[in-house]
Amino acid sequence: MFRNFKLVPRVIFGRGCFSQLDEILSPQRTTLKDWVVFVTDDVFTGTALASRIPLHDNDLLLYVNVDDEPKTQYVDQLTQQVKTARPTLPCAVVGMGGGATMDLAKAISLMLTNPGSSTEYQGWDLIKHPAVYHAAVPTLSGTGAEVSRTTVLTGPEKKLGLNSDYTVFDQVVLDPELTAGVPKDQYFYTGMDCYIHCIESLAGTYLNEFSKAYGEKSLDLCRQVFLENHPDAADKLMMASFFGGMSIAYSQVGACHALSYGLSFLLGIHHGVGCCIAFDALEEYYPDGVKEFRVMMEKTGVDIPRQVTKDLDDAQMNTMIDVALGLAPLWENCLGKDWQTIMTRDKARSLFLKM
Ligand code: NAD
Ligand code: ZN
């Protein structure tokens, strides 16, 4: 069976295109009562970008905090806040920020029209009703969250996305100028998330020409950004992220993402840096990719946290292994159908101990 994927129907790209956001949203505002909620990373509080948000009288500027990666409980709380803010539902939800903020915006738009808690929808195609129209304005490039059909949420029992066709954004606004203020470390870690998406997709057993077409171009752009010097590197990384997301849509990530989910679940390590920590330990599986990653790290002048697993006890280590090995499709993509005979618990433990 082939999967019939929903794609983002509208994309605008270019330096300064954020200025057209008001015009882009205007077809959604059909009556005077219609209002928009701008789900905005609180890092932008009081900044020039915040003053450029095209707020109408009835709109809601909702600042969100992403010090922790998005949790189902936070999504439920924000959804409630939006529902009680006005007597009607908003006509649009706009997410402005990195992967975490985009995921929060996707989740809120879904939960406004689907009853209960977001924990009930963690999984595949559990969402029943279409979301409120939702748009993304990425301010950090790499995750591919702007194109994916998931929003990654940590619930009380699991870290699992709300995967559905309804999750996909209706509009993406790609303005590379908006990534200008990202701290160097963060720019690298999230950029490497994209690089690793490409390496894992291109080396995977699920590879096909669709994924390859996007993955190869994305990888080429990542190399230009992190190994060469280009004045328009931000433009290149924004397109790399988009294409990297497209590449894994029709294939899968691999060992690095599986292990990084363990780090994230147990130690709360964020996605980008967690992927870097895990990838650095995976020379055996992605020899050329890891070598190149280290060159990029050196050239950027960024380092990764080391020995992050050294204080874990046996029970904690076992939990981390459970989370990582629970992601069967990722391992199958990396190692093939017999992955369980290769990636034993002992092997996974030895990899975690290298991190
Ligand atoms: P992020 O959204 O967590 O942001 C990282 C930091 O950068 C935050 O402190 C944020 O405030 C700051 N920041 C963002 N834009 C900035 C700007 N322009 N200037 C200054 N600071 C800025 O980081 P991320 O790596 O983009 O996203 C990681 C999240 O994305 C994780 O929660 C992960 O689970 C999720 N993710 C989702 C998907 C998906 O397909 N839905 C894919 C990969 C990752
Ligand atoms: Zn990733």
99 CA to centre of ligand 2 in angstroms: 10
Ligand nearest the Cα atom of residue 69: 1
Q: What is the pLDDT of residue 27?
A: 98
54 CA to centre of ligand 2 in angstroms: 31
Pocket-forming residues, ligand 1, beta carbon under 6 Å: 41, 43, 66, 69-70, 97-101, 103, 139-140, 142-145, 148, 150-152, 178-179, 181-182, 186, 190, 270-272
List, run by run, the mean pLDDT of 10-residue segments along the chain (355 residues). 91 98 98 97 98 98 97 98 98 98 98 98 96 98 97 88 96 98 98 98 97 98 98 98 95 96 94 98 98 98 97 96 95 98 98 98
Nearest CA to ligand 1 atom 25: 190
Contact between 98 and 191 under an 8 Å Cβ cutoff? The reply is no
253 CA to centre of ligand 2 in angstroms: 8
56 CA to centre of ligand 2 in angstroms: 35
**Domains by residue range for the chain, with CATH:** 10-179 (3.40.50.1970), 184-353 (1.20.1090.10)
**d(C-alpha 41, C-alpha 44), whole Å:** 6
Best residue among 194, 271, 273, 275 to mutate for probing ligand 1's pocket (most ligand atoms within 8 Å of CB) is 271
Q: What is the pLDDT of residue 160?
A: 87
**d(C-alpha 198, C-alpha 274), whole Å:** 16
Range list of β-strands (E), the chain: 10-13, 36-41, 60-64, 92-97, 123-124, 134-138, 152-154, 159-163, 171-174
Nearest CA to ligand 1 atom 27: 99
DSSP 43: G
Model pTM above 0.95: yes
Contact between 94 and 54 under an 8 Å Cβ cutoff? The reply is no
Contact between 215 and 199 under an 8 Å Cβ cutoff? The reply is no
**d(C-alpha 251, C-alpha 253), whole Å:** 7
Work out the number of other CB atoms within 10 angstroms of the CB of residue 61: 15
Best residue among 40, 134, 140, 260 to mutate for probing ligand 1's pocket (most ligand atoms within 8 Å of CB) is 140
Which atom of ligand 1 is the closest one to the Cα of 264?
A: 34
Helix (H) or strand (E) holding 334: helix 328-335
Which atom of ligand 1 is the closest one to the Cα of 181?
A: 19
Give how far Cα 146 sits from Cα of 41, 103, 138, 173, 308, Å.
15, 9, 7, 9, 30
180 CA to centre of ligand 1 in angstroms: 14
The encoded tokens of residue 134 equal: 């939702």
Taking each helix axis from N to C end, the angle separating 233-249 and 184-202, rounded to the nearest 10 degrees, works out to: 40
Hey, what amino acid is at 340? Q
54 CA to centre of ligand 1 in angstroms: 23
